[in-house]
Amino acid sequence: MSIWSIIKSLKYRQLKSAFFLFLKKPLYLYPTLKATVNAYRGSQREFPKTHYLNGKGNAFRHAFWNMMLCKECSKWTTDNDIAIAWAKTITDWHEELSPNKPLDKAMDLHNNEVGRELFKELNAKSAKPKVNMLIDSLKEKLKSSFKAETISEMDANKEALVYIRELNE
């Protein structure tokens, strides 16, 4: 997936919304696109047939995307909290524009948050963590992930990655 293919895939409403979003933080356009492409590619490598479904691969992809956004955007600011807030803004924006069922959306938002929190932990241990460190920590986190059937189950387990479909991954 290239940056151009991401832009071409957006609908007019999404393009307009993205334009105004990046108008507020123009320096974050490049790192956001770079993080998005790299997160997609990494997810494709780790879960080639399932990252776009609602299983563990999808949980990985959402958390990894948030971690990559935090990582790439933190290069453009001295305050990691700003980069983390931007990752939340972008991924919340994405979820608002995506036509998902309520449980799917809750799962995505939950895993996005888990990714941002995990980035904070890793960044505190090792300033500027490398991509393989992010992937390894996410794989470890996946070991304690669980299948959620309700939003309240997700809310009760804030630190765990969640998925809503059992897949052979």
Whole-model pTM: value is 0.89
Residue range 95-111, pLDDT digits in tens:
988 778 999 999 999 99
Strand (E) or helix (H) holding 146:
strand 146-147
pLDDT tens sequence across 44-82: 999 998 777 789 999 999 999 999 999 999 999 989 999
DSSP assignments along 17-85, one per residue: HHHHHHHH-GGGHHHHHHHHHHHHHHHHHHSTTTTTTTSHHHHHHHHHHHHHHHHHHHTT-S-HHHHHH
